[in-house]
Amino acid sequence: MEMKYFDLIKPGTTHDFVKYRRIAVTVSLIVNALVLFGVIVWPGLNYGVDFAGGTELQVHFKKPVDPGEIRDLVAHQGFGEPTVQRYGSESENQFLVRVERIALLTPERAQAIKDSVSQALPGLQSFRFDPEVGDKLDFFFKQPVDESALRGAVEKLGTAVKEIRPLVSREGQEREYTVITQGTGDKIGSALREKYGPDQVEVVRTDYVGPQVGKQLRIDGILAVVYAIGMILVYVGLRFDFRFSPGVVIALVHDAIITLGFFLVSRHEFNLTSVTVILTVVGYSVNDTIVIYDRIRENVKKHKGGPLRDIINLSINEMLGRTILTSGATALSLLGLLLYGVGTIWDFAAAMLVGIISGTYSTWYIASPMTIWLEEHAEQRKAIAAAQPKPKKPEQNRPAAAAR
């Protein structure tokens, strides 16, 4: 039985990819510069709670509401400029409400509560409050105290207490009591229920991240991408030749910046999931580039002595069908997520689709042609070095004639 195969790209294709490398690199440099300007200068990325710090609530409404009303209501609660973003499809009536604060308590108010507790309960030994943690107060006493008296001393200044947690301690040790007060999420949820009705609002989840933790996560995300590209650089150098490595790294940096540009232009939230997208795009892009580099290495042996420009063009054309089919199959799987996914799933799929298109483009017009430039530059340096006059060797002193 004869097997039939479908050829998306007919064998013998001779498209000149290398011909357009200058145009492609120029366009890529301009786009990359614009993205970096947008990220660093203006308007900046829309950082999620993971990186910016603060409180994020996912709120579900039973009926359609205006996001502008939600924003104004939260702002009137004393949270500055909140961010309200629709979550999922419009019919689901879900929103992400994000504010920059994670605690209602300030250090000054916490100190005032401590003074109130020390007056009501003289046995107070020490006190602890960390605004990075949230609305939580830790009190240490010599002896066990009445929890209702502790609650009264805290609420005396108008701070609502949600819970008091006594910690078990050994005999002779200080008794610790953790007081959980009304937090940012509680206040926003209460305000929304008061306006829209207690049965019309459901707070699905509440996330807290301190500013210092968010900054550290942001740094760790950048380092993760840098380390990944660095390890790929070493792998390509060992697997092929270090003259191929710069082209791969430039292409990967290009793809990472283009994917970053999706979040910059779309204003979708940039969080830890977004870093995962960039790492996935980097891994996908290098896989496609490695396949073409393998074919270049084979053709270098097959067409020994041939111009590198022609060999790279031939290799890209030979792998053109495989590249399009692989990228197309991955893109089709992402279309399902784009059609039915919501929230971070949709963001992930959309950013991945942009990264796949960028990765395919950079493989054809950035990585391989960059190798040609490096080779041409190396040849020019050799030619210049060969054209320079060689310094004359100093004449050695001839031995003196033997005495007659």
3-state helix, strand, coil in the chain (%, to 5): 60, 15, 30
Q: Identify whether residues 370 and 229 lie together within a single domain.
A: yes
Q: Identify whether residues 362 and 264 lie together within a single domain.
A: yes
The per-residue pLDDT string of the chain (404 residues; one tens digit each, 9 = 90 and over) reads: 455 555 667 777 888 888 888 899 899 999 999 999 999 999 999 888 888 888 999 999 999 999 999 999 999 988 887 888 888 788 889 999 989 888 888 899 999 999 999 999 988 999 999 887 788 999 999 888 999 999 999 999 889 999 999 987 666 678 899 999 988 999 999 999 999 999 999 999 988 887 777 888 889 989 999 999 888 888 887 877 777 778 888 899 999 999 999 999 998 889 889 999 999 999 888 888 888 888 888 898 888 888 888 888 999 999 988 888 888 888 998 998 898 887 788 899 999 999 999 999 998 898 877 878 877 777 777 777 777 776 666 655 555 544 44
Residues pairing with 207 in the sheet: 56
Q: Identify whether residues 216 and 205 lie together within a single domain.
A: no
Name the maximum alpha-carbon separation found in the chain.
Answer: 126
Q: Identify whether residues 250 and 331 lie together within a single domain.
A: yes
Look at residue 311 and tell me if it is in a domain. yes
Q: Identify whether residues 282 and 358 lie together within a single domain.
A: yes
What span, in angstroms and rounded, lies between the C-alpha atoms of 354 and 346?
A: 12
Look at residue 372 and tell me if it is in a domain. yes
Residue span of the structural domain in which 134 resides: 107-182
Cα–Cα nearest to 344, from 88, 78, 15, 109: 88
For residue 49, what pLDDT is reported? 84
Q: Identify whether residues 223 and 329 lie together within a single domain.
A: yes
Q: Identify whether residues 28 and 65 lie together within a single domain.
A: no
For residue 188, what pLDDT is reported? 93
For residue 8, what pLDDT is reported? 67
Residue 169 sits in a domain whose CATH number is 3.30.70.330
The C-alpha torsion from 37 through 38 and 43 to 49, rounded to 10°, is: -120
Look at residue 344 and tell me if it is in a domain. yes
Look at residue 345 and tell me if it is in a domain. yes
Q: Identify whether residues 273 and 372 lie together within a single domain.
A: yes
Residue 94 sits in a domain whose CATH number is 3.30.70.3400
Q: Identify whether residues 28 and 128 lie together within a single domain.
A: no
Structure tokens at 131: 């605004």
Q: Identify whether residues 370 and 300 lie together within a single domain.
A: yes
Which residue in this structure is represented by tokens 């070493």?
A: 234
Number of helical H runs and strand E runs in the chain: 13, 8
Q: Identify whether residues 364 and 263 lie together within a single domain.
A: yes
Q: What are phi and psi of 206, to 5 degrees?
A: -135, 125
Q: Identify whether residues 240 and 361 lie together within a single domain.
A: yes
Give the pTM.
0.77
Q: Which of 165, 182, 199 is the last residue of a domain?
A: 182
Q: What are phi and psi of 172, to 5 degrees?
A: 90, -10
What domain count does the chain have? 3
286 close to 248: Cβ distance less than 8 angstroms:
yes
